Chains A and B, each alone.
Chain A
Amino acid sequence: MDTKIFDKLKILAEAAKFDVSCASSGTTRNNPGKGIGSTSGWGICHSFTEDGRCVSLLKIMLTNCCIYDCAYCANRRSNDIPRTTFSVSELVELTVEFYRRNYIEGLFLSSGIVRNADYTMERMVRVAKDLRTVHKYNGYIHLKSIPGTSRELIAEAGLYADRLSCNIEMPSEESLKLVAPDKNYQSIYTPMSYIQQGFLQGREDRQKYRHALRFAPAGQSTQMIIGASQDSDMKILNLSDALYRRPAMKRVYYSGYIPINTYDTRLPAIAAPPLVRENRLYQADWLMRFYHFKVNEIVNEAHPSLDLDIDPKLSWALRHPEMFPVNVNTADYEMILRVPGIGVKSAKLIVAARRYGRLTSGNLQKIGIVMKRARFFITCNELAANTVHETGPEYIRKALTDSVNPKKRKTNDRQLVIDFGE
């Protein structure tokens, strides 16, 4: 083994660390012959770094050399930092050897841009291709596509990768152009559309022929930086909502801006990354995807910013006392899901269990409902004491504000677990 690999790994892992999408979910890849690896359902977190983030994939850059000069990026051309590049075989070996030891679920490869988009993308695709064809590797592969990649290379990447992503970077094109003058929405949306077309085509082919090749079966994801521009939560969540309407789009990631290049005055001067806001955005995102909320129920002209003190589900409930209290023995699933303190799992349990008989507050507690929150919003045919109508929303807001409990507020919800205190 070439000892240079130790330095390369450090530099290129460090360079990739701000990319948040750790999830390796959404595909099933069995191991049909006797190759190595399998991918199933939700990816596994194999380790956790000291910042509490899940390590599921070997998240790394092919190179940190870059011809672009994005203001928010440590690898931008104008920064004077050590630069290095992996060879295809080095990356392949690292992935396979880490995988065999159960360190990782797979590879998440991104890259700085060398020469041009296609030149860079081609090298990345070679890594994925070698893994799949030479090593019979069935673990997870996520390739980040470079803005401006051609249709041909996206088509090839989709054959080997489980997931492809194109980062939207900024919540609006104006803010993108300000901080990343080399990029524009077209160079991002175009490969995004190629991925979508490939994904849909692949799905259709497989309905016709069972052995048709799959194209990025875990679809695509994207990411945007939060708090580096003036864009409101309303703007951000509406953009997410539009992105989720695209059939192949599985996840939108929000990344609280970390001031790296403090010398660049196009970026706001902030003391710490906006972690609470980032967390609230993830919670809102979950409400849209799993709790059947519409985006304008969460943010709208009257409420363009998410409430930082309380989560968006509670916030909605307090703005709509007329919807409560909900009778857990009779209300439909949709409405039970909207009760603060009741999560998806508990809502399902309630609906299943009440067929056997009336549920009491004792039952609810045992099922795992957080009565501290839920009690203001439910009745279960027992005496309904102190619901939101009696106490008024302001009382509940105070009682349940996270900042009352400063420890809780620190939690970092970058990962899949989004805690509504449920």
Chain B
Amino acid sequence: MLYFIYDNTFEGLLTCVFDAFNRREFPQKIVRTDTALPLFTEPFRVITDTDKSERVLNALKKKISHSAVRMLFVDFLSELEGIETVIFRYIQKAVTAKTSIEMNFADADVLELSKIYRKVMREEERVRQFVRFQKTADNIYFAVIEPVYNVLPLTGRFFKTRYADQQWIVYDAKRKYGLFYDLNTVETVCFDSLDISPAGNINPEKLDESELAFRILWKDYLKAVTIRERINLKLQRQYMPVRFWKYLTEKNGE
């Protein structure tokens, strides 16, 4: 069994494709560096090379639309087990087919990747919905969130346009990195130690003095607009999954 081992980056995955075609050896599976390999595998360590990944991208763009190429990147961010192998098979089919395969939903891989794409984009939307910023004393708006998929890279542009005149950080507590916007560019940041409560709250002394008042106003607002004749907690949970409540200003402590 031939296994390709790659460094868990999208460029690395594309390099796998390049190497496979180059060596005319196609792996049964593509796995991340940290995966324990089963017995009787024949591992091949792929060295990520942006020249190679660029060439694969260019070859792909000749066969499928730009949005289909982007879909593959989005699928990759799902981090689902085995996703690399499905993406690999898709690319293999795409570059060898005469016409674009992207609309062929009767093909299991095409259908599966389009479904995963929708799920990941749904999660990305949820991040845009449920991020809550707290204003700190040094004028940075800070938010913590734990999306199921690694969607932060997809949200940077949105937050940058919307909050162009304020510094902000959106922090993924599960993957331990964040996006930081310094009024010019969005960069990836990691913190050695973060002074936040389990609910993602910053130490009150380090908050802007008006922050707590606006939190209360927001909670009061939501209570006031609830129509008591129509209480429907199930529906609320369906639209606003409980897994996000931990960091929601209005649900803290529930």
Within 8 A of B (CB), among A1-39: 1, 5-6, 9-11, 13-14, 16-18, 30-31, 34-38
Expressed in whole angstroms, the minimum distance between the Cβ of A76 and any Cβ of chain B is 18
B230 close to A355 (CB less than 8 A)? no
Chain A residue numbers with a CB within 8 Å of B104 are: 353, 356
Chain A residue numbers with a CB within 8 Å of B135 are: 100-101
Question: Closest B-chain residue to A258, C-beta based?
Answer: B229
Complex Cα gap A366–B110 (Å): 12
A-B contact count (CB 8 A): 156
Question: Closest B-chain residue to A37, C-beta based?
Answer: B162
- Check B54 for interface membership: any CB of A closer than 8 A: no
Expressed in whole angstroms, the minimum distance between the Cβ of A202 and any Cβ of chain B is 24
Question: Closest B-chain residue to A356, C-beta based?
Answer: B104
Chain B residue numbers with a CB within 8 Å of A98 are: 214, 217-218
Chain B residue numbers with a CB within 8 Å of A101 are: 132-135, 141, 214, 218, 249
Which of A53-61, A219-227, A245-253, A291-299 is the interface stretch? A53-61
- Check B44 for interface membership: any CB of A closer than 8 A: no
Q: How many residues of B contact A (CB 8 A)?
A: 54
B224 close to A13 (CB less than 8 A)? yes
Expressed in whole angstroms, the minimum distance between the Cβ of A408 and any Cβ of chain B is 11
Expressed in whole angstroms, the minimum distance between the Cβ of B103 and any Cβ of chain A is 4
* B226 CB contact (under 8 Å) in A17, A45, A136: A17
B164 close to A35 (CB less than 8 A)? yes
- Check A103 for interface membership: any CB of B closer than 8 A: yes
Q: A17-B225, A36-B166 given as contacts; is B236 within 8 A of A50 (CB)?
A: yes
Q: How many residues of A contact B (CB 8 A)?
A: 57
Between B183, B220, B224, the greatest number of chain A beta carbons within 10 A of the residue's beta carbon is seen for B224
Q: A50-B226, A53-B227, A101-B214 given as contacts; is B161 within 8 A of A10 (CB)?
A: no
A102 close to B226 (CB less than 8 A)? no
Chain B residue numbers with a CB within 8 Å of A36 are: 162-166
A51 close to B162 (CB less than 8 A)? no
B210 close to A97 (CB less than 8 A)? yes
Chain B residue numbers with a CB within 8 Å of A6 are: 216-217, 220
Which of B16-24, B35-43, B123-131, B190-198 is the interface stretch? B123-131
Contact with A along B195-233 (1 / 0, CB 8 A): 000000000000000100110111011111111111111
* A366 CB contact (under 8 Å) in B111, B220, B226, B232: B111
Contact with B along A381-409 (1 / 0, CB 8 A): 00000000000000000000000000000
Q: Please, could you name 26 A-B residue pairs with CB atoms under 8 Å apart, sorted by A?
A: A1-B213, A9-B221, A10-B220, A14-B225, A17-B224, A31-B164, A35-B165, A36-B166, A44-B129, A48-B239, A50-B226, A50-B233, A52-B232, A53-B225, A55-B225, A58-B221, A100-B135, A102-B132, A349-B105, A353-B105, A356-B106, A356-B107, A363-B106, A412-B230, A412-B232, A412-B235
| Nearest 4 A/B pairs, CB to CB | A52-B235, A13-B224, A353-B105, A52-B232
